[in-house]
Chain A
Amino acid sequence: MGAQVGRSVPRLESRDKVTGRAEYTHVMRVPGMVYAKLFRSTVAHGKIKSVDTSAAKQVPGVLHVVTVDDVMKVLPNPYYGPAFHDQPILAHEKVRFVGEPVAAVIATDPHIAEQAVQLITAEYEEMPAVYDEVEALTTDIFVHEQLKPAGTFADLKHLKGAKNTNMALDYQLRRGDFDKAYAAAEHKFEHEFKTQKVLHLSFEPFACIADYKDTHVTLYDSSQGPSFVRTEIARLLGWPENKVRIKVPYLGSGYGSKLYIKLEALALALSMIARKPVKVAYTFEEMFYQITRHPSTFRIKTGVDKNGKIVARKCEVYWNGGAYADIGPRVTQKSGLTASGPYNIDNVSIDSYALYTNEVPSGALRGFGVPQLVWAYEGHTDMIARALKLDPVEFRRKNIVHDGDPHATGTILKDSPVEKVMDKVLERMEWSKPFDRGNHPTIKRGRGFAIAIKAVISPTTSVAMVNVSADGSTTLYCGTSDMGQGSDTAMAQMVADILNIPTETVRVVPRDTDVTPYDMGTLGSRSLFHMGHAVQRAAMDARDKLKALAKEVGEPEGSNIPVAELFQKRYGMQAGNVIGSGIYKPDYVPPAPGTGQTPNVTPFWMLSGAGAEIEVDTETGHIKIKKLVNVVDCGHAINPKIVETQISGAALMHVGFTMFEKMYQDGGQVTNASLADYKIPGFHDVPEVLENHYIEHEQSNGPFGAKGVGEVAAFCVGPALANAIDDATGVRIMEMPLNAETVYRALRAKQGKPLEDE
């Protein structure tokens, strides 16, 4: 048997996926199932005066029309959420964003439910609303009357019961003395960057089927975190976890949207009311009213000494969390800590604010906030180099953080080859050669690059089991949701490598909390590292037990006897099991309050770089991406081909977020909630040359030297493109997307001939 780790094994579920037979919740049906559709708020902020459901109730086929009053009869405290218990199952007394669910219709047929929803009316007493994240900090409009932290996170406890605030977390990092160092700096720079509201748009929209019985409940769920869903559903019911079962088939992707708890509490309540299995399955349009990426405002200040060394950096980041906190406070903190970038700076000050507004809630999207940060700090870094007439490569090289240097958190960097990643980008871009700018009068060529760092969310726990059956076949039980990232395959490769069997023979049990053990969640590129460790330990435990079994039946040391014969010898027939288990939780030291300093903030760092060559049509503002190079450090690649598709996919998704994607809003109402009006990347948006590379590097504490790679190629695409536009035209754009209109407006403004606003 050759090594299984390092092989480009095709995804184990390949056959099911190409034949259309793979299972997804959105197309799943359960016998006796009925359907729910939602009536949503048309105002951004207001008191609910009345909801009239009488006409809807008259429609033949309608079983129930449900408001929060009905929900509270079965679940008296109908609030849920991972960081704050702030989100009601259906709007309670108030609505806080346009699109918030206010009532639900349960019917025998989805079309009947849809038709009945149209007959519901509601009256609101409208209240002033706040949409901007910076205004949210100082306004006297408050989205919530009182803050309700969930108690899960120690650093949110001080916010319990807080009133007259929209701030759901204020993260601070202080290293050295920013004010003093900045005051003394030779050169001072200050910029403000913004990012727009974009969203995941998984092609399998949100879906959950809840089947409530009086003694137990089963949820069929398109979820990235079945263990968390189980905990939260058990909490809402006041039940022990073992009466709650969450089954998760393959996901038609997630990208962070299907994390923590989304439709599950609603589906549960509706199933309790209907006493039947109830399916809640969103349309594409409804995804625009569930969860998005955080819009952000990032104010960044940097002081540079006369030698081009960055001596001080201050970061103020405002995260627009929307109406409900979801995981925003985690984004604010866990990404906030890397806001000063992959640079070695003695004096750093970071303030990162999670803010409530009257918009659709924001959460994690492929990067947990890091793409928004890199957009700002790599644009800013480029602008400084330009202003000081320094080579952008040498300026970064002088300031880059290396292994052995302290990160802004005080944690000493390890397994973090930032410069190596940058050099690979430069090599593939042929940066040292003269760049051909052409001599076209209106088409201008330019190039740019960016580098980034991220810490993995910590500390988190994963558990796995490996079961060797009496015929020698092996089954892996692990709760990581395979949403396309190939986790089932990579985990199976680790098991196969340790047990010396072909990967293709390992069965990975689809996630089912009745049988798959605890996992914190499939998020933040944590799974391959954390679950990978647990899987590795479980497989080694199984291997050790098989060895013990061999000894028990009198086999000599190093015997090659087939596993099936071991069982035969021990139990007299094809019987028995060997079960290995593994648990992993990395070391971690919580940051000191107020300064964010800690000797151990993360078990591993993620690094990436990107370089872009573009053409700008100065007559139209249109950008053509001629070349995009993506480089990451993923440690040792468990499955090289899957790593490559992850790098490519993350980068191309961020070409969309950078170049054209944006949720347009008017008075809190999303005005482009459809695929016709919200464009995503297609075939024609793939750059002419697209290169995806990972550098060979072992993560010393990783399973098989590996670490996560799902997000990391997302970070640098935006700033690399903006830096290239600046290089081509001298125009700097501080807010995404970089669409033709934005670019053309910027070009005209630079010429002193600005276009009028719309």
Chain B
Amino acid sequence: MTAARTITFKLNGANVTADVKPHHNLVEMLQTQFGLTGARESCGQGLCGCCSVVVNGRAVSGCLYLASFVDGAEVQTVESLDTPTKLSPVQEAFIEASAFQCGYCTPGFIMMVTQLLDEHPDPSDDQIKHYLTGNLCRCATYPEVMDAVRIAAKKRKAGATA
């Protein structure tokens, strides 16, 4: 096994360093070195979306994205979205719409829906489906996720004008 090297990056707003080996992926590093388990590896092929993490403003599959690639980057995980007193509008909407069952894929969905609404504040059903094609849910809460996106869009609009 090859030696580790030290990388420096911004994680959820804080400057951090990590020792990573060339084969370590982003999810593994977040879990083992930072105790962040919201991004999870499931399919291991970048198809299910459970491992979605935002790197420099773009969602990536953390199971395929090598940890060493985030050297110098800004990384955001699901753990950055809430405060001790407040959930993000997307998180609130997922609860209101009952848009999860086992919850294993939920952080990935929430990261992608957040990015979707950043790009399309008022998405059509087709836009939602297209955007979330890379997120799978074995409990199949797709209809409820559709509801959650619509609720979240409204919440964000109300929040922006308030």
Contacts and interface: CB of A to CB of B under 8 A. Distances in A.
Interface string A269-285: 00000000000000111
Q: Which of B48, B103, B128, B138 has the most CB of A within 10 A?
A: B103
Interface string B105-121: 11100100000000000
Contact of A18 (B48, B106, B137, B141): B106
A684 B142 CA distance: 9
A682 interface: yes
Nearest to B132: A683
B44 A686 contact: no
A153 interface: no
A204 B140 contact: no
Given A253-B101, A681-B140, A18 B87 contact: yes
A285 B110 CA distance: 25
Nearest to A112: B1
Interface in A9-23: 10-11, 13-22
B36 interface: yes
Interface string A665-698: 0000000001110001111101000100000000
B65 interface: no
Interface in B131-155: 132-133, 135-144
Q: Which of A14, A255, A648, A652 has the most CB of B within 10 A?
A: A14
Q: Which of B37, B95, B135 has the most CB of A within 10 A?
A: B37
A437 interface: no
B45 A20 contact: no
Contact of A27 (B1, B37, B91): B37
Interface string B60-103: 00000000000000000111011000010001001110101111
B156 to A, nearest CB: 16
B101 A680 contact: no
A216 interface: no
Contact of A680 (B40, B77, B138): B138
Nearest to A24: B104
Contacts of A11: 95, 98, 100
A20 B102 contact: no
Given A19-B87, A21-B79, A284-B44, A203 B140 contact: no
Interface residue range, chain B:
35 or more
Given A19-B87, A21-B38, A24-B104, A682 B133 contact: yes
Contacts of A248: none
A20 B143 contact: no
Nearest to B144: A645
Contacts of B47: 675-676
Contacts of B103: 13, 16-18, 22, 250, 252, 484
Contacts of A29: 31-32
Nearest to A281: B41
A686 B133 CA distance: 12
A484 B99 CA distance: 11
Contacts of B107: 18-20
A19 B78 contact: yes
Contacts of A645: 98, 101, 139, 141, 144
Contacts of B132: 683
A203 to B, nearest CB: 4
B144 A19 contact: no
A201 B139 CA distance: 10
Interface in A628-686: 641-642, 644-646, 648-649, 652-653, 674-676, 680-684, 686
B110 A690 contact: no
B43 interface: yes
A484 B102 contact: yes
A484 B101 contact: yes
Given A18-B87, A19-B81, A111-B23, A649 B101 contact: yes
Nearest to A684: B129
Contact of B102 (A111, A205, A253, A652): A253
A17 B81 contact: no
Interface in B23-69: 23, 31-32, 36-40, 42-45, 47-48, 50
Nearest to B94: A18
A250 B103 CA distance: 9
Contacts of B37: 20-21, 24, 27
Contact of B143 (A484, A684, A690): A690
A542 B87 CA distance: 35
A738 B78 CA distance: 38
B144 A252 contact: no
B87 A15 contact: yes
Contact of A202 (B31, B87, B106, B138): B138
Q: Which of A10, A17, A61, A204 has the most CB of B within 10 A?
A: A17
A276 B98 CA distance: 40
B95 A10 contact: yes
Contact of A649 (B23, B32, B104, B139): B139
Nearest to A482: B102
A18 B110 contact: yes
A675 B43 contact: yes
Contacts of B32: 29
A201 B103 CA distance: 14
B1 A14 contact: no
A642 B98 contact: yes
A300 interface: no
Nearest to A252: B104
Given A203-B50, A252-B104, A20 B139 contact: no
20 contacts: A10-B98, A11-B98, A14-B94, A14-B95, A19-B78, A19-B87, A20-B78, A22-B103, A203-B42, A252-B103, A252-B104, A284-B45, A484-B103, A485-B101, A645-B139, A653-B138, A674-B45, A676-B43, A676-B45, A682-B136
Given A20-B107, A680-B138, A684-B133, 18 more contacts: A11-B100, A15-B95, A19-B91, A20-B77, A20-B106, A20-B110, A22-B103, A26-B40, A27-B37, A111-B1, A202-B104, A202-B138, A203-B50, A203-B102, A205-B42, A253-B101, A653-B140, A682-B142
